[in-house]
Amino acid sequence: MTQTARSSQQPPATQPSTAQSATPPSAAQSATPHPSLHNKDLGPVGPEQKRWGWFEIFNVWTNDVQSLAGYTLAASLFIGAGINGWFVFAAIILAGVFVNWLVNLSGAPSVRHGVPYAVMARPSMGVLGARFPAMVRGVVAIFWYGAQTYFASTAVALAFNAALGSPQTGTFLGLDVIGWVSYVIVALIQVWLFTRGIETIAKFLNFAGPAVYVVMTVLLVLIWVRAGSDLLPAVGTIFSNQDVTGWAAISAFVGVVGTMVAYFAAVIINFGDFSRFSKTERSMRLGNFTGLPLSLAFFTFLSLFITAGAYVVFQGGTGEPLDNPTDIIAQTESVALALIAAVTFLLATVGINLVANFIPPAYDLANLAPQKISFRTGGYITAVIGFIIGALWVAVIEQIGLPTFVDTLGALLAPLYGVLIVDYYIIRRSQISTPDLFSMDPAGPYYYTRGWNLRAIAAFGIAAIFAVFTVWVPALAALAGFAWIIGAALGGLFYWLVMRSQTVAAHH
C-alpha cells in the first residue's frame, strides 16, 4: 500500500446538478462543498492520488483472510458443520468467489468517483441520511475491532507463556494476568500504529502476509510428520457427523458459504474506502481475485490440515478439537516456534484490524460531524469503545460462539449492501453527480426530505430485522447461515419497491 488514506484531497468539482452526470471530479470546474458534508478525508481523491495497483488490494484481502479470527472461524466451521472436511473446504472457496463478485460491484463506484462508502451511501440514503448506515457500519466495525484485538492478544500471550512457563494466576472477565497484559499491549500498539499513518500499517501488512504463511506451513509440516499416514484420511472424516446427510448436509454446506460471506460483510460494504485509491477498475479486480479466491483457498487448505492434524497428534482424536492456532502451537512445546508465531500472527491480525476495522469507523464517525470530528479523533473514539468490547470477549461474546457472532453482524450490515447496489446499478444506471454528493441544496437529487431518504431507511430496517431474526429466532434457525444473503436480497428488493418510480423518472 502506497497511498495514505489521510492525504490532502481536493474539493469535488462543479458540474450541473443532475443525477445523470458521471463526470469525474477532476474533469469539471471547482465548486464549494457544504461544510457539514465535507472534509479532506471525505472529499474525492484526484488521479494523482490513485496509486494503488493490484498488489495493494491483494494485501488488503490476504491479511484479512489470514488473521487469527479468520483461522478460528474456518476451524469452527470444519468442526461444527458436521460434514466432510473437503466439503467445508469447497464451501469456503465458493464463498471467496462470491465475495470477489460482490466487492467488484461495491468497489467500482468509489474507483470512478474517488469517495469512501460514507459518501457513496448519500445517493440512496440522502446527504444527511447516509449518516445512519455509516453509523451502523461503524458500530459493527468497532465490534470487530474489539474482537480482533482480543485474538491478536492471544498471540502475545502465547509468547509470554512460552517464555515464562505458563504461570498460573487468577482471572478477571475470563482473562488471567498474562491475558490482560497482552491485551493492553496490543491495544496500545494499534493506537501507536494508527498515529503513524497508513504507510506504516502497509509495511506491517507487506511483511506479515508472507510471514504468516511461512509459520503456518512450518506448523503443518511438523504436525504432518508426527501424524504420518493418519492425516489424509482424518481430513475427510474426522469432523463428519453421520446424522448430517441429505438435505441437512446440503443446508450445512450452503450455511458455511453464508457464514463466510458474513465474515467479510463489513469490508464488502465499505470496500470503497480502499478501492477509491485504485489506479483502475482492472487493477482492483485483479487484486480482488488474487486476494480472495486464490489466497483464501491456500489459507483454508492450511487451516483444514493443521486443525485435523492437531486433533490426531495432540488429542488422539478425542475431546474437542482446537480452533485457535496459538493453542495448537502451544501444544508443540517449541519455545522458538511459539515466539516466531506470536510475532507474525500479531502483526497480521493487528495490521488487518487497523485497515478493515479501525479506518472505516474513523471515516464513519468523521462523517457524522465533519467539522467537529476529524479522522484521527474518530480513530481514538473507535479505540476506546473497541477496547471495552474486546475486554468482554471471553466473558460475554465468546459464549454465543464465533459463527453466531459473525452471522449476527453480517445480517445487520447486509441490507446496506443491497440498497447500495440496487441504487447505483439499477435505479441510477451507474450515473452519479459527484458535486451533489456534497450539496445541501433542497433541489439537489440526493436531498430528499431534509436530507433524509426515509423510504430507504425503512427498507433497510425491515430487511435487517428479519435477517437478524434468522440468527436468533429458533423457528428460523435453518436460515441462520443464509442471514447475510437474505438480508442483502431483501434490502435490495425493498429498496427497489419503494424507489422504482424514481427509475422511470430518471430515464424518461
Could you report the per-residue pLDDT of 75-134, keeping only the tens digit for each?
A: 888 887 778 888 889 999 999 999 999 999 999 999 999 998 889 999 999 999 998 888
- Domains: count for the chain: 1
Measured CA to CA, the distance from residue 1 to residue 202 in angstroms comes to 5
Q: Which residue has the higher pLDDT, 395 or 431?
A: 431
pLDDT tens for 188-247 read 988 887 777 666 666 666 676 677 778 778 888 888 888 888 888 877 777 777 767 778
pLDDT number for residue 362? 79
Q: Is the pLDDT of residue 14 over 60?
A: no
Say how far apart CA 193 and CA 191 lie, in whole Å. Answer: 5
Lowest-pLDDT choice from 136-150, 361-375, 460-474: 361-375
* Spatial contact of 242 and 82, defined as CB atoms under 8 Å apart: no
User: Is 234 within a domain?
Assistant: yes
Enclosing H/E stretch for 470: helix 454-472
What mean pLDDT comes out for the span 437-444?
A: 91
Task: Taking residues 386-393, report their average pLDDT.
Answer: 88
Residue 30 pLDDT exceeds 70: no
- For 414: left if phi > 0, alpha if psi spans -120 to 50, otherwise beta; the answer is alpha
Which residues, in sequence order, are CB contacts of 36 under 8 Å at separation 6+? 369, 370, 371, 440
Q: Are 110 and 273 in contact (CB under 8 A)?
A: yes
Q: Is the pLDDT of residue 11 over 50?
A: no
Chain centroid to CA 75: 18
Indicate the pLDDT class of residue 505, thresholds 50, 70 and 90: very low
In a domain, 205, yes or no: yes
The DSSP code for 508 is -
Q: How far apart are the first and last CA of the chain?
A: 43
CA 16 → CA 19, 123, 436, 476, distances in Å?
9, 16, 9, 49
Domain region containing 391: 44-126+137-402
CA–CA dist 386, 146 (Å, integer): 4
Return the HEC string of 4-52: CCCCCCCCCEECCCCCCCCCCHHHCEECCCCCCCCCCCCCCCCHHHCCE
- CA of residue 201 relative to chain centroid, distance: 17
pLDDT, mean over the chain: 81
The CA distance from 441 to 202, in Å, is 39
Gap between the Cα atoms of 261 and 487, Å rounded: 12
Q: What is the pLDDT of residue 29?
A: 35
pLDDT given for residue 52 in this prediction:
87
pLDDT at 290: 92
Give kind and range of the element (H or E) at residue 180.
helix 177-196
Please state the φ and ψ torsions of residue 286, each to the nearest 5 degrees: -65, -40
Task: Flag the least confident range among 142-146, 255-259, 277-281, 313-317.
Answer: 313-317
Nearest one of 300, 297, 320, 301 to 310, comparing CA atoms? 320
CB-based contacts of 37: which residues, under 8 Å, 6+ apart?
A: 127, 370, 437, 438, 439, 440
Question: Does residue 5 fall inside a structural domain?
Answer: no
pLDDT over 60 at 252, yes or no: yes
**344 lies in some domain:** yes
Residue 407, pLDDT above cutoff 50: yes
Instruction: Give the three-class secondary structure for 171.
Output: strand
Q: Which residue has the higher pLDDT, 84 or 463?
A: 463
Opening angle at CA 205, ends 164 and 111, nearest 5: 155
pLDDT at 459 over 90: yes
Cα of 172 vs its chain's centroid, Å: 29
Which residues are 13's β-sheet partners? 30
The per-residue pLDDT for range 140-168, each reduced to its tens digit, is: 888 888 888 988 898 888 888 888 877 88
Task: Return the percentage of the chain with pLDDT > 70, whole number.
Answer: 88
Average pLDDT over residues 171-183: 89
Q: Is 81 a domain residue?
A: yes
The total number of residues shown for the chain amounts to 508
Q: Is residue 4 part of a domain?
A: no
Who has greater pLDDT, 420 or 159? 420
Residue 414: predicted pLDDT: 92
250 is written with which cell numbers? 446440503
Cα 101 to Cα 92, 268, 279, 494: the distances in Å are: 15, 10, 19, 22
User: Residue 176: in which H helix or E strand, if any?
Assistant: strand 175-176
Q: For residue 460, give the C-alpha cell.
A: 433497510
Band of the pLDDT at 31, cuts 50, 70, 90?
low
Given the C-alpha cell 446496506, which residue does it identify?
Answer: 416
Q: 2 or 487: which carries more pLDDT confidence?
A: 487
* H/E run at residue 172: strand 171-172
Q: Which residue has the higher pLDDT, 426 or 336?
A: 426
Predicted confidence at residue 35, as pLDDT, reads 76
Top-confidence residue, 352 or 73? 73
CATH number for 115: 1.10.4160.10
Residues 6+ apart with CB under 8 A from 477: 470
Looking at residue 27, its pLDDT comes to 37
354-369: pLDDT as tens digits: 777 887 787 777 777 7
Q: Assign 394 a pLDDT band (cuts: 50, 70, 90).
A: confident
pLDDT value for 236: 72
In this structure, is residue 159 part of a structural domain? yes
> Residue 497 falls within a domain, yes or no?
no
Burial class (CB in 10 A: 0-12, 13-18, 19+), 430: exposed
- If we measure between CA atoms, which residue out of 385, 375, 408 comes closest to residue 145? 385
* Cell (9 digits) for 68: 487469527
pLDDT at 377 (0 to 100): 83
Cα–Cα distances in angstroms (integers) from residue 425 to residues 221, 261, 349, 421, 451, in the given order: 48, 21, 34, 6, 22
**DSSP structure class, residue 482:** G
Q: Please, are residues 47 and 26 in contact by the beta-carbon 8 Å criterion? A: yes
Q: How far from the centroid of its chain's Cα atoms is residue 231's Cα?
A: 32
